[in-house]
Structures are given as structure tokens and as C-alpha cells.
Structure 1
Amino acid sequence: FGVVGECNIQYALSPYSEEYYIIEVNARLSRSSALASKATGYPLAYVAAKLSLGIPLPEIKNSVTGNTTACFEPSLDYCVVKIPRWDLHKFSRVSTKIGSSMKSV
């Protein structure tokens, strides 16, 4: 996509096949970015700020390890999942149809 900095891509996976669909692309820091940063310990906002100042990724020191650059991905032995919470039983006339759009009730 040609993005310099942080980019969050959200996917939807078909339950009937191995097909997936891109439903949203955010070329900015988002709430999901904060979750990813917290879960991995990788300082996304710090790295994105340095990139916006024109510092190349190989020259940005990884503040977590202290001896690698920001080019190295964090190694994870776990999975973090963001699960929506639907409290729709409180509202009698709200549609319970789930889609990719955010709604307020």
C-alpha cells in the first residue's frame, strides 16, 4: 500500500472455506494498534514517530531488546484476540444482525 508508519489491516475469514477478505485498512495508530503494542511489547507508536521523522527502519533501535533494530519482529509464543462484546439484550428494538460496520445503540 506504500504506507510509511503504522498500518492496521482487519480481515474477515470465511467459516466455509480458507478465503479471507480485507474489511478495513487504517493507515494510522488505532485502538487495535494499542492492543498489539501492549500484547507484543513492540513500541508501534515510537517506531511510527521515528519513521515520520525520516529515520529509516534499520536505524531505529528496538527499545525492548536494546541491541536489535526495529526491523526485527517480536517473537510470540501466544495469540492475542480482540473479541467484541454485544450487550444487545438491553435494547429491545436493536437489530442483532452482525456485519463489518460499527453501530451505536
Structure 2
Amino acid sequence: MSLIGQESPEGALPSLYAAAADVASGEFYGPAHLFHMNGPPVEVRLPRRASDIATARGLWDASERLTGVHFELEAPGKACTTSSSPALSPKPA
């Protein structure tokens, strides 16, 4: 075990836990110890910047530009219920 960080299998645990455990939707899970850098998965507070709309838009725009893929998305807050939804269909840039 590393003092700072984790090996890949342990690093994947928070994502697996959030996806498979009986936990509340919309919660954020990460490592329990040392500034959330290692340890078992626990619910942690979402960093303020992670919910900043301007930061999200900048990351999304950069991702589309760098990958050359543009996604037509539903309006924020509209849930997508199927994988065949047009909201998930990539469009060429």
C-alpha cells in the first residue's frame, strides 16, 4: 500500500462502489484517508469547483475540440433514460 495514492485496483473501488452498492444517487465517493488519496471508498463532499457550470462548460468544450466529437445533449437537468437516446448520439464536429 502506498502512503500517497493507491494501486489501480484500490483506485477503482470508489467508482465500483458508487455504481454497484446500494447508495444514494448523486452522491460522490472517494478514498477515506489522507486528503482522500487512499483508503476504502466513503461518501465525500463534492469539491465546489466540480459543480461550477463555467468550469464544466470549459472542460466539455475542450473535450469536444480535442476529440473532434460533438454531442447533442438534452437541456441540463433532463434525465436520459435509455442508451439509444439521441442525447447520447455523437455527431461529427
TM-score (structure 1 length as normaliser): 0.27
Q: Which has the larger radius of gyration?
A: 1
TM-score (structure 2 length as normaliser): 0.30
Select the structure that is richer in strand: 2
Select the structure that is richer in helix: 2
